Structure 1
């Protein structure tokens, strides 16, 4: 697969440690969806991030409380070892095959290429090259949503990890449909509390936010070419 543009950003690893995300003031998706599938975490937790990411998550949660009392950021996924990235790519590939009623051994090359293109639109390549780490393998990325004051997950219009255009952050932006306008407002709220805390949102996923990794630096530079950001976080084995 061709390298995505953000993968060309240089990395100067800062050595900041992975730290546990505290259960309070956040909430976690339990059981963890990838652990539940059997993803090989090898006693590592998906609910870890770099220290600087945690500090910014706490800031985002504080801002959320100011505008929406009782609401919480719900952590769906954070740190992801390379082996887990590979597992989830393979799992997603198999899911698409099943949905299409196809068998891998009978795929034509164009069919295989089309499925891989779809999978890699939403899942980073599990590249072992330390210069091109998957974002979640750096500890700099989080997949999140919101929970309201009653403990209910806020409806964003599509589930996390859905392989469809509904996952694009602005999919409902121009809709005249009332519920869809609400979905967009929820996505904008999530984006606001995260970006004011220093995160950048994945251009194709409403739930994915990053700080300090290659994607964050690339997005910062896209917004301001004079910024000349570089990545602070490389892959953690």
Structure 2
């Protein structure tokens, strides 16, 4: 299990409550993608956040609609208990085996380790250690995209959320659009995807969020990753996290 660079950030829990997101404020994935797979949410809702995160999301949506009046933020996945994180990590490992046509019973330990490293490029480990919680278990992280309410469809972003490939890198299509060896039509398509990713980044960053360095769709505010990314952006300042893992009943 590879260590994440933000695990050393201290958490000073604010005790801010987890709240449900207003039904009409945003557009939500329906059916929820992980629930549809059977992820064990129990009584928890995937569309909950800390109070301060919800306020910032509403600010981001207001900024978005000043630039694109008929677009909304599209919530793919928000709150994720550690049990769900574990389920999705294992699900992704199985999908990776299938995609590569591999039989798990015949793999060498080094091959298994390499596969897990690939999985953990996308997913945070399902830690129960309160000092190193998965970002989504804190109620501070959101996976989201953009939605066109006129067309009634998600906006073109170049690649789907959770894709395990280089296309998930935030600047992938920006680099492609600048590559003069790529066909003109492909450069134009890449430029459009990059422009949409940049719009999402700009309205979220303006509202106080930080983006995951390897995922165009993942943003957080107040958790360890947010503090780590904020320090990278402003090295002269020191940052700590104010949101730790939300404990479930029985934990």
TM-score (norm: length of structure 1): 0.98
Counterpart residue number, 1:182: 192
Any residues of structure 2 matched to 1:69-148 within 5 Å, and which? Answer: 69-148=69-148
Farther-moved stretch of structure 1 (168-177 vs 138-147): 168-177
Counterpart residue number, 1:166: 167
2:246 aligned counterpart, secondary structure: coil
The offset of 1:226, in angstroms, is 2.1
1:131 aligned counterpart, secondary structure: coil
2:2 and 2:120 in contact (8 A); partners too: no
Any residues of structure 2 matched to 1:27-42 within 5 Å, and which? Answer: 27-42=27-42
Mark the runs of 5 or more structure 2 residues left unpaired by the alignment: 178-186
| 2-structure distance, mates of 1:81, 1:46 | 9
Q: Which runs of 4+ in 1 moved over 6 A?
A: none
List per-residue Cα deviations over 1:200-224 (Å, max 9, x = no partner). Answer: 0000000000000000000011111
Residue 200 of structure 1 pairs with residue 201 of structure 2: no
| 1-structure distance, mates of 2:237, 2:66 | 30
List per-residue Cα deviations over 1:101-126 (Å, max 9, x = no partner). Answer: 11222211111011101100000000
List per-residue Cα deviations over 1:127-173 (Å, max 9, x = no partner). Answer: 11110000000000000000113122101000000000000000011
Q: How many residues align?
A: 237
Superposed CA RMSD in Å reads 0.8
The offset of 1:175, in angstroms, is 2.4
The offset of 1:183, in angstroms, is 0.1
| 2-structure distance, mates of 1:204, 1:108 | 28
Counterpart residue number, 2:234: 224
Mark the runs of 5 or more structure 1 residues left unpaired by the alignment: none
| 1-structure distance, mates of 2:176, 2:120 | 27
